Amino acid sequence: MFKCSQAWKLWTVAAVLLTLLCMISAKIMITKVDYESNPNYLAMMVQVHNETEGSTVDVDCSLYLDVHQGISVNIDLDSKMDGEYMTMIGTSKELCSKEEGGIDPVVPLLNEELEKFGNLSLGCPYYKGSYRIRRFRMSDDHMLVKMVPPGEYIVKLDLKHQQENDTQKVQVFKLSFFYEIS
């Protein structure tokens, strides 16, 4: 039986080999965006621009309070197979944690891309104010794009907050991008 870290290493090697074999030049077209935000935390607006070379995304967010701890994010990549979506990759991360819970390549790679297009990141703390991203797109030659073959997908981001003296996590926002890679 594989331990989790052994399975992760095996998956990473397979992904790297797939990347080297495919080296696809992908075009990403977003077909739909679903999002909801908790009005006690923030107001959020997402706009998609479909262009000939692919889709870009604008995000505007107004955060109503400072958050220094208790933020967690779940990121899932679902692939459409036989007419149904199935999770291919999933990761969870405590964004404000001082401890490193192992190597998680998805969150840092995504954060690196986010920071190129605005002031929104997956880094803590978050201060009351405005956050935005303009014309965000994943480059065709980015490792996260190359690892994924042509097809239909959903990227889901689910952000929750747990107050310092509370036992429950509260939904801050959910965001789902439905897209096709060709």
pLDDT, tens digit, 9 for 90 and up, residues 45-99: 999 998 887 888 899 999 999 998 899 889 898 999 999 999 988 888 888 876 6
| The two structure tokens encoding residue 3 | 């331990």
What is the fold, at CATH topology level, of the domain defined by 28-181?
Ganglioside M2 Activator Protein; Chain: A, (2.70.220)
pLDDT, tens digit, 9 for 90 and up, residues 160-180: 999 888 889 999 999 999 989
pLDDT, tens digit, 9 for 90 and up, residues 100-138: 555 466 667 777 778 888 887 777 888 999 999 899 877
Contacts (Cβ under 8 Å, ≥6 apart) of 56: 48, 49, 135, 136, 137
User: Where along the chain do its domains lie?
Assistant: 28-181
Q: What is the pLDDT of residue 56?
A: 87
Contact in structure between 164 and 69 (CB atoms under 8 Å): yes
